[in-house]
């Protein structure tokens, strides 16, 4: 008798699932977004990120950039995806979080290097392709090299490129930030 009740319950459950159009994977909630759906849902987050980065293009301001990337990564974390359902979306989200951490580390390293060099704010910073950090206060003719770990700068530039690649693969140009 007990097995008949269990069997009847299973048939009722299957009938409900069949008439509702839900698959077994949807029984406990909606399925995760795929990359295309993720990209559509992420457009506003990317527009906000671009708006925060545009005024910073000419400036280092790593601390401000870190916060903007962290906010974007947190907002994208609210979108239900998995590595299998949205591999590019997962890459964008994790790359933005990594970039935020690297901006924080670079901000600290830059501040320490400037203090060590006796450079007081405000000053202008340039980063060369090989990771050399140059700074000057009043004139470009007074450029000095700041002792910042080149591996940190290389990691930062690499993370920027990973964000760009993931954003472009999703056609989210507004998230293709850097500098």
What's the pLDDT at 27?
A: 56
Distance CA 69, CA 61 (A): 13
Do 25 and 47 fall within a single domain?
no
Radius of gyration of the chain (CA): 24
Q: Is the pTM of this model over 0.85?
A: no
Residues 56 and 125 in one domain: yes
119 Cα distance to chain centroid: 31
Least confident of 11-15, 110-114, 141-145, 153-157: 11-15
Q: pLDDT, tens digit, for every residue of 65-79? A: 999 999 999 999 999
124-127/144-146 β-pairing: unpaired
pLDDT digits (tens, 9 = 90+) for 22-76: 444 455 667 899 989 999 999 999 999 998 888 766 566 888 899 999 999 999 9
One domain for residues 51 and 106: yes
Residue 5 has pLDDT above 70, yes or no: no
26 and 74: one domain? no
Same domain, 82 and 163: yes
**Residue 137 structural domain:** 33-175
Q: Quick one: tokens of 151? A: 């591996």
Domain match, 21 and 56 both: no
The answer to whether residues 104 and 168 belong to one domain is yes
- Give the total number of structural domains in the chain: 2
**16 and 38 inside one domain:** no
């Amino acid at each position: 008798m007990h097995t008949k009740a269990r069997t009847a319950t299973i048939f009722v459950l299957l009938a409900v699932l069949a008439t509702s159009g839900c698959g077994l994977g949807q029984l406990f909630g909606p399925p995760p977004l795929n990359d295309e759906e993720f990209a559509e849902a992420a457009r506003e987050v990317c527009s906000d990120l671009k708006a925060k980065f545009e005024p910073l293009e000419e400036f280092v301001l790593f601390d401000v950039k870190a916060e903007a990337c962290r906010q974007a990564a947190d907002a994208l974390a609210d979108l239900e995806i998995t590595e299998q359902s949205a591999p590019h979306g997962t890459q964008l989200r994790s790359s933005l979080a990594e970039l935020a951490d690297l901006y924080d580390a670079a901000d600290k390293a830059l501040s320490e290097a400037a203090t060590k060099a006796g450079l007081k704010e405000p000053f202008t910073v340039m980063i060369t392709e090989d990771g050399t950090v140059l700074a000057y206060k009043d004139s470009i003719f007074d450029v000095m090299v700041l002792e910042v770990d080149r591996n940190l700068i290389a990691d930062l530039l690499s993370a920027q490129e990973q964000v760009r690649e993931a954003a472009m693969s999703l056609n989210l140009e507004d998230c293709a930030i850097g500098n």
